[in-house]
Every structure is written in structure tokens, then in C-alpha cells.
Amino acid sequence: MKEIIISLVFIFGMSCVCNAEDYHVKTQSNNARSATIVFHIPIPIENNVANIPLRTALSQYIQPRNEDGTFGTFQSQLQGIDGIELTQLRNGELYEHVEAVSFLAADTNTQKLTKIDEKYKKLEIGGLNKIRKILKFWGLNRNVP
């Protein structure tokens, strides 16, 4: 299905701009039955089992590798993202998750917003727990006693 890039304001109207820091609408399908959403999940200040700050572990985990083995720079899925938000993503303060959200043909804009908000709330808990699980032992160095 061919998708077109549309700004958040054009898809759902001005009522959604207040939630822009939690998620961003990247694309919407031509028939308006789904939208690709870029969610930004906040990462709390806490340490993993290796006593590495979770934010530090995440920033290391998401750092891409170049073909020559050197580290690259994380890039957001959003074009023209705010510099402060991009810095938060690179520092592990936010985790970026991209997912399509489906709508019913009869859904109003308010119902669409509610569906996206509910997806965000699920990711805020479930996504964070998944990150904790993946990075639980990140950075652990140990000698066997």
C-alpha cells in the first residue's frame, strides 16, 4: 500500500499537537486506515545488574556500526527532528519505536487519537520492560570465583 508523508496537524488537527513529544505521525495510508507512528518512550534513571545506567546501556546498544567496524551516529526515523529530542534519543533518555496503528473506516479523529494514545501507554510499560530485559547484563564484566 502506497503511503504518503503527512504532518500530524493535517492528519488529526490541532488537538494532537500537545502529544508531539510522546509520538509523531510519520505516514498515513492513502485510505486513512493506518498510520505509521514514531513513539518516543522515556527511559528512567536506574542501573542494570552490571551497575551501568540503563540510559548509558541503551545509548551504546543503539549505536550503529559502520562497515569498517567503527561506530556511527544514531539517526532518528523522523526527518528534521528537533535537536533536543535527537540528543535525548542518542543519550538513551528516550527510546524510539516505530509501529503502524490501524483504524476502522468509521473511526473519528478522536477515536484515532485514542488508539494511538493507548498504544503509547502500552509501549511505555511493555517497551520499557523489554529494554530492561535486553540490557539487564549489558556491560557486565566478571571473573568466575
Task: Report residue 127 CA to chain centroid gap.
Answer: 9
User: What count of residues does the chain have?
Assistant: 145
Query: What residues are paired with 122 via a beta bridge?
Result: none
Q: What is the pLDDT of residues 21-31, one digit of tens each?
A: 799 999 888 88
Q: What is the pLDDT of residues 37-79, one digit of tens each?
A: 999 999 999 999 999 999 999 999 998 888 887 878 888 888 8
Q: What is the pLDDT of residues 117-141, one digit of tens each?
A: 999 999 999 999 999 999 999 999 9
Give me the residue spans of the domains in the chain: 3-134
The predicted structure's pLDDT at residue 75: 87
Tell me the C-alpha distance between 41 and 95, whole Å: 5
The predicted structure's pLDDT at residue 54: 97
pLDDT at 20 over 50: no
The predicted structure's pLDDT at residue 55: 96
pTM for this model (two decimals): 0.77
What is the DSSP secondary-structure string of 32-88?
SSEEEEEEEEE--S-B-TTS-BHHHHHHHHH--B-TTS-B-----SSTT--HHHHHH
